[in-house]
Structure 1
Amino acid sequence: MEAEEISVEEIEQKRDLLNLEAERRRKSRDELNEITRQFADLRDKHNAEVRRLIEEASEHKRLRDEYNEKVKETKEQREVWNRKYTDLAAELVELRRSLSTKTSTPISKLKRDLKALEFKQMTSVLTPEKEKEIVEEMSKIQAEIRKRESSLQTNPRYSELYRQVNEAKEKAETYHRLVSELAETAQKEHDRMMELYDKADEVRKQADDFQAKFVEAKIKADEEHRKHIEAIHQVHDYDKLLYGIRQKQKRPYGMEDMEKVNRQAQEVFERFKKGEKLSTEDIMLLQKSGYL
C-alpha cells in the first residue's frame, strides 16, 4: 500500500470510530461501576448485620455463662442442705428411737406399713370386705402415728430437731427447683446464642457472595476503563496525524538524509497500518518523509 492511499478522510473515519468505541467503553465502565457500588452496599449491609447478630449472640453467651455459674452455686447450696437434711433426719430417727418404748413399733415401721397398705389398695383387685378391712387398718396406723408424733412433739429437743429437719428439707427442695429453673434459662440462652450464630453464618455467606460479585464487576469495570483510556490515546494519535497533515499542507519540509528517513518512515508506516500506537516522534518522522 502506498502512503498516498491513506487519505485524510480515512484517518478521520478511523478516529471517529475510535471515539465511538471510547464512548461505548466509558458508558460500559460507568454501568459496571454502578453495579459494583450496589454490590458493595449489599456486602456492607450484610457485614453490618453479621456484626449485629454476633454482638447479640455474644450477649446471650454472656447471660448463659452467668446462669450456668448460678446453677453451679445453687447446686452447691442444694448439696449443703441435702447433707444437713440427711444428717438431721438420721439424728431425728435416733432420737425418736431413744424416746420410744421398747415394746412399741417404731414410727418409721408404722409409716412403711401404711405405704404398703396404700399401694395394695391402689393396685390390687379387692372385694368390698377386703378393701374395708384395709381402710380400717390404714386408719388405725395413721391414728397411731399421729398419737406417737404428738407425744414426741412435747419433747423440746425432738420438737426443735423436727423443725430443723423440715426446714432443711424445704431449703433443699427450694434450691433443687431453683437449679432446674436456672438450668432451663441457661439452656434457652444457649439455644438463642446458637440460633444467632447460625444466622450470622448464613448472612456472612451472603456477604461473601456479594463480595465475589463486587470483585467480578470491579475487574470488568477496570478493564472497560483501560480500554476506554486506550481508545482515547488512539484518538489523540489520530489527532496528531491529522494535525501533521494540515501543517504539511501549510509548509513543506526540506530533504535531509532522505534515504535513512524513508527507511525509518517505512517501518513506522507499516506499524501504523497494523494499528499500532504511534508516538509524537513517529508522526514527525512520517511528516518529514512525505507519508503524511
Structure 2
Amino acid sequence: MVDSIDQSKNVELTEDDLENKSKGELIKLAGQLRDRRNELNQMASERASDRDDLNAKTREKVDEAQEHREERDELNEKVQEHKESRNDLNAEANELFDKVEQLKNEMELDEGKSIEELESEIEDLEFKQQTEVLSSEDERELIEKIEEKRDKLASKKEKLDQTEDLDGLKEEAEEVRSEASQHHQKVTELADEAQKHHNEMIEAYREADDIRDEADEMHEKFVEAQEAADQHHEDFVRVQKRLRELDKKEEAEERSAREEKQEAAREEAEEIYQKFKEGETLDTEDLMKLQKAGKL
C-alpha cells in the first residue's frame, strides 16, 4: 500500500507572492518549487514503474489462466470422446448380453431330462421291445415312445452343440463391457484433471483481479504525484517569468539612471565650458570633467 503524497511538503504560490515578494525571496521560492517538482517527478516515475510491473504481473496471471482454460477445454473434449465411446460400447454390450439371455431361453438346457437319462430310457425301451412279446398295439405305443425320446435326445444334443456359440457370445459381451469400463475410467481420470485445471484457472483469474486492483491504485497514486509535480512546474515557470520581468525592470531603471547621470554630467560640463570661455580659471577636477565630456 503506497501512501498519498505528503501535502505539507508541497510549496504554495499565490498571486500576492508574485506581486509583492522581493527578487531574493522569489529566487528562493523558485528553488523550492524546482526541488519539490523534481522530488514529485521522481516519485511519479517510481509509481509508474511499480504500476507497469503490476500490470505485467496481471498479464502473466491472465496468460496463466488462459493456459489452464485451454488445457481444461482440451481435456473436456477428450472426456466427451471417451463418454461417447463408453456409451456406444455399453449399448453394444447390452445388446450382446440380451442375445445371450435370449439364446439361453431358447435353448432351455435346464428343462426336462438330461441326455444321459434320455439315452438310458431309450436303451431300456429298446431292450423291452427286443425281449418281450408285445401285442401289436403295445409294440406300436412302445415304438412311438422310443421315437419321441429319440427326438427329444436329438434336440437336446443340438442345443448342447449351440452352447459353444453361447459361450463365445458371452465372452464377446464381457470383452466389450470391459472395454467400456476402460473408457469410463479414462472419463473419470480426465474429468478430475480438467476440474483441477478449472480450479487453477479460477485462482489465476482471482489473483489477476487482485493485482489489477493494486495496479489501478498505483496508477491513481502516480496521477496524484504527477499532477502535483506539474503544478509545481507551472508555478516554477510563473516565478521564473516574474523574475525575468523584475530583471527587465531593473535593467530599465539602471539604464534610465545612467542616462540621467550622463545628462547631468553633460549639463555640468557645458556650464564649466562656458566659464572656461569666459576666462575663468578652472581647477583640475573641472578640466577632467571637460575632458571626459569631450570639450577639450
TM-score, L = length of structure 1: 0.64
Q: Distance in 1 between matches of 2:239 and 2:180?
A: 87
Question: In structure 2, what is the equivalent of residue 87 of structure 1?
Answer: 95
Question: In structure 1, what is the equivalent of residue 203 of structure 2?
Answer: 195
Q: Distance in 2 between matches of 1:247 and 1:217?
A: 44
What amino acid is aligned across from residue 256 of structure 2 in structure 1? K
What amino acid is aligned across from residue 36 of structure 2 in structure 1? S
Q: Distance in 2 between matches of 1:36 and 1:56?
A: 30
Q: Distance in 1 between matches of 2:92 and 2:161?
A: 21
Q: Deviations over 1:57-102 (max 9, x none)?
A: 1111001111111111111001101101110011111122233335
Q: Which runs of 5+ in 1 are unaligned?
A: 1-10, 105-150, 254-292
Question: In structure 2, what is the equivalent of residue 176 of structure 1?
Answer: 184
What amino acid is aligned across from residue 48 of structure 1 in structure 2? A
1:58 to 66, 70, 74: 66
What amino acid is aligned across from residue 26 of structure 1 in structure 2? R
Matches within 5 A, 1:121-136: none
SS of residue paired to 1:207: helix
Question: In structure 1, what is the equivalent of residue 229 of structure 2?
Answer: 221
Question: In structure 2, what is the equivalent of residue 117 of structure 1?
Answer: none
Q: Is the 8 A contact 1:15 1:238 kept in 2?
A: yes
Instruction: Give the deviation of 1:238 after TM superposition.
Output: 1.1
Q: Distance in 2 between matches of 1:16 and 1:152?
A: 125
Seen in structure 2, the aligned counterparts of structure 1 residues 55 and 199 have a Cα distance that, compared at 3 Å, is same
Seen in structure 2, the aligned counterparts of structure 1 residues 169 and 180 have a Cα distance that, compared at 3 Å, is same
Give runs of ≥4 in structure 1 deviating > 6 Å: 151-154
Question: In structure 1, what is the equivalent of residue 46 of structure 2?
Answer: 38
1:98 to 101, 106, 128: 106
Question: In structure 2, what is the equivalent of residue 209 of structure 1?
Answer: 217
What amino acid is aligned across from residue 63 of structure 2 in structure 1? E
TM-score, L = length of structure 2: 0.63
SS of residue paired to 1:43: helix
Question: In structure 2, what is the equivalent of residue 232 of structure 1?
Answer: 240
Q: Distance in 2 between matches of 1:77 and 1:153?
A: 34
Q: Distance in 2 between matches of 1:230 and 1:250?
A: 30
Seen in structure 2, the aligned counterparts of structure 1 residues 201 and 153 have a Cα distance that, compared at 3 Å, is farther
Pair 1:18 & 2:26 matched: yes
The number of aligned residues is 197
Larger CA Rg, structure 1 vs 2: 2
Query: RMSD between aligned alpha carbons?
Result: 2.2
Question: In structure 2, what is the equivalent of residue 244 of structure 1?
Answer: 252
Q: Distance in 1 between matches of 2:242 and 2:55?
A: 43
Instruction: Give the deviation of 1:153 after TM superposition.
Output: 9.7
Instruction: Give the deviation of 1:245 after TM superposition.
Output: 1.6
Q: Deviations over 1:21-62 (max 9, x none)?
A: 001000000000011001100100000001111111111100
Q: Percent identity?
A: 32
Q: Deviations over 1:202-256 (max 9, x none)?
A: 0000000000011111110000000001111111111111111211121039xxx
Q: Which runs of 5+ in 2 are unaligned?
A: 1-18, 113-158, 262-296
